[in-house]
Amino acid sequence: MKKRHDAIHVDMLRKKLDPQREHWDTVYKLKPDYFGETPSEFARRALSFFKEKGAKKIIELGCGEGRDTIMFLKEGFEVIAFDYSPVAIEHLMQKAKSNQLSESLTAMIHDARDGIPLTDECVDGIFSHMFFTMQLTEKELDFIFQECLRVMKAGGFNIYSVRNIHDPHYGKGIHRGEDMWESPQKFVVHFFSLEKVKRLARGYEICHIGEFDDPSPTYIKKLYEVILRKPEKKKE
């Protein structure tokens, strides 16, 4: 019982210290489908890659209201979707139900800083679009990347995008520590250098690092797209 009480206490404390969660909830309440209903081009590229590699079951971190999640579900994937916004998860579940896709979806209100609540080597891949560019310290990021490594099967792929230091908004606004800056829209963004991408790939094989422009609200952003692979187990 004490362990559960401690967990609740930690979660309540984190909520007090994390106005970003409340900000996202407010945004999703006031502007449903904030990022639109059309899947991102980045997710479309990830979809093609996962299909080519034979992936069937994936995790989506920071799924938001599910514009990309729904696409993966429609394409026959089993998706475990995480977001720390209860409002976002509620919207996603409503969309899945209206599209008769609920059976293939597991949606969880969860903060990835607490780890990924799944068993070892249980998914074929992990997808995230600008999740790691949230207000996460490098120490927290490293922990989450290692959790991703743990839950993926050998040969699985972690495909993600992040804002980078070539973005015109890097270094502007209120500095929130490390390479994090708060925008006029009150979003705290963690901008990645190429060196940081490589540091966080500890234990992975780096398959691809590219750069692209993303036109999502409210302005064009400069992003890295990264594909990491979990190495195959060495034969004894």
What Cα–Cα distance (Å) separates residue 62 from each residue in 4, 84, 89, 175?
A: 25, 7, 10, 23
pLDDT tens digits for range 38-58: 999 999 999 999 999 999 999
| 38 upstream amide cis, omega within 30 of 0 | no
The pTM of this model reads 0.88
The reported pLDDT for the residue numbered 10 is 37
CA distance 146 to 135: 18
On average, the pLDDT of the chain sits at: 89
Residue 91 has pLDDT above 50, yes or no: yes
Neighbours of 126 (CB within 10 A): 27
Which residue did the predictor score with more confidence, 144 or 14? 144
Pairing of strands 57-61, 123-129: parallel
Closest Cα to residue 34, out of 24, 44, 43?
Answer: 24
Which residue did the predictor score with more confidence, 18 or 158? 158
Residue 127 has pLDDT above 90, yes or no: yes
Q: Are 66 and 36 in contact (CB under 8 A)?
A: no
User: What is the mean predicted confidence (pLDDT) over 192-203?
Assistant: 98
DSSP H helices, the chain, are 2-17, 19-30, 41-53, 67-74, 86-98, 138-151, 194-199
The reported pLDDT for the residue numbered 217 is 66
Domains of the chain as residue ranges with CATH: 111-229 (3.40.50.150)
pLDDT tens digits for range 2-20: 333 333 333 444 444 477 7
Which residue did the predictor score with more confidence, 28 or 60? 60
The reported pLDDT for the residue numbered 95 is 95
Q: Are 94 and 37 in contact (CB under 8 A)?
A: no
User: What is the mean predicted confidence (pLDDT) over 195-204?
Assistant: 98
User: What is the mean predicted confidence (pLDDT) over 186-202?
Assistant: 96
Kindly report the backbone phi and psi dihedral angles of residue 181, in degrees, each rounded to the nearest multiple of 5, phi listed first: -135, 140
CA distance 65 to 90: 8
